[in-house]
Amino acid sequence: MLINCVAYQNGIKLADLPIDDISDYLQRPECFIWVALFEADTAELEKMQEEFGLHDLVVEDAQHGHQRPKIEEYDESLFVVMHMLDAVDSSIEIGEVHVFVGRNFILSIRNRSKHNFRAVRERCEREPELLRLGSGFVLYALMDAVVDRYFPVMDDLETQLESIEEHIFDKGAALGNIEQLYELKRKLVILKHAVTPLMEATGKLHGGRVPPVCANTQDYFRDVHDHLTRLNTGIDAMRETIGTAIMVCQSTVAIEQNVINKQLAAWAAIFAIATVFTGIWGMNFQHMPELQWTYGYPVALLILVAVCGFLYLRFKRTDWL
C-alpha cells in the first residue's frame, strides 16, 4: 500500500506524485523522491524496481522479508534492513523496515509494524536546510527514529528485571523467578538481534570510506552508532545480571532442598531411636529383664519420650528443625 510519494528539491517539497511520474522527477537536477510503502506486494515492488532501477537481489530480499538487520551497498545505492520492536503486554512484537537509498531517491517499506514514519517526514520538512542534504539525511532520520524506539523496550526490560530482583530471596519463589528470568532473557535476545548487527553495519557509514549517498551526513550516522553502542553495552550488562540472578535462584533452590533434607534426616534419626527401643522390648523371649516389672511399660514410654525429646532439642538448637 502506498503511503506517500513526494518530490523534494533543495530541501523544499515540490509535490505529491503519482507513481507513474517518478521517472520524470528523477531527471530533474537537485531533486529527490521519497516513497513510503506499507506491506508492499509483488506488483508494487516490481513497479518500484522499474522506476528506481533496484537490484534484483535486494528486491528478492524485500519480497521474502524476515531479514537480519544489515546495510548492503550496490554500486551507488544502499539497501538497509532494520527491525522495529514494540513492547506489547508481556511480549515484544517484531516488525521490519526495508530502506532503498540512491543518489536521488529513498524508498522505505514497512512490514508488520503499527508505527509509521509520519513524524520523521514532518521533522525533515521542518528542517529544509538539512533535507537539502538529500536521501542520506532521510536515511539518518529513519534510522534515528527506529533506534529511538529501542530505548523504551530496553527500559521496560530493566523494570521487569528490577521487579524480579526485589523478590529473588522470597521463600518458595525461586522456581517462579527462574521462569521469569528465562523469559526476560529471551526478550533481551530479540533486542540483541536487532541492535548488534545494525550497530556493526552503521559503523560503515561514518569514518573511512563511506557510501557516496552518506558522504555529507557522516556525523549524523556517528550519533546513531553511539546510540546503538550504548544500547548494546546495556544489553550485555543486563545479560550478565540475569545470568547472576539465575545462579542465585538456583543456589536458593539448592539451599531450600538442603534444609528439607536436614529436617527429614533429623526426624528419621528421632524415629530410628524409637524404633530401636520398641524393637528390643518387642522381642518375645521368655527370660527377659523387666518383663514382669509393674512399671516397665510407663518407664519404657518415659525413656522413649526423653531420648526423642533430647534429640529434638539438639536438632532444633543446630537449626536442623
The one-letter code for the residue type at 74 is Y
- Measure the CA–CA gap between 22 and 56, rounded to whole angstroms: 19
Q: Is residue 290 domain-resident?
A: yes
Q: How many CA atoms lie within 13 A of 160 on its CB side?
A: 24
Domain range for 269 is: 256-317
Q: Is residue 240 domain-resident?
A: no
Angle at 114 between CA 234 and CA 151, to 5 degrees: 15
Residue after which a domain boundary falls, among 66, 98, 131: 131
Q: Is residue 150 domain-resident?
A: no
Q: Which pLDDT value is given to residue 54? A: 86
Cell numbers for 298, please give them: 510407663
Q: Is residue 313 domain-resident?
A: yes
Q: What is the pTM (predicted TM-score) of this model?
A: 0.79
Q: Which pLDDT value is given to residue 237? A: 94
Strand partners, 32: 8
Q: What is the mean pLDDT of residues 196-213?
A: 87
Q: Domain holding 44: CATH number?
A: 3.30.460.20
- Measure the CA–CA gap between 108 and 97, rounded to whole angstroms: 7
Residue after which a domain boundary falls, among 69, 104, 131: 131
Q: Which pLDDT value is given to residue 292? A: 66
Among 116, 98, 115, CA closest to 107: 98
Q: Is residue 92 domain-resident?
A: yes
Total structural domains within the chain: 2
- Measure the CA–CA gap between 316 and 34, rounded to whole angstroms: 78
3 state DSSP class of 97:
strand
Instruction: Give the mean pLDDT of the chain.
Output: 86
Per-residue confidence band for 289, with pLDDT thresholds at 50, 70 and 90:
low
Q: Domain holding 298: CATH number?
A: 1.20.58.340
Q: Is residue 30 domain-resident?
A: yes
Q: Is residue 136 domain-resident?
A: no
Residue after which a domain boundary falls, among 65, 100, 131: 131
Q: Is residue 249 domain-resident?
A: no
pLDDT digits (tens, 9 = 90+) for 109-151: 998 888 888 899 999 989 989 888 889 999 999 999 999 999 9
Q: What is the mean pLDDT of residues 261-275?
A: 79
pLDDT digits (tens, 9 = 90+) for 223-242: 999 999 999 999 999 999 99
Are 201 and 70 contacting, i.e. CB atoms less than 8 angstroms apart? yes
Of 43-47, 92-96, 174-178, 262-266, the poorest mean pLDDT is in 262-266
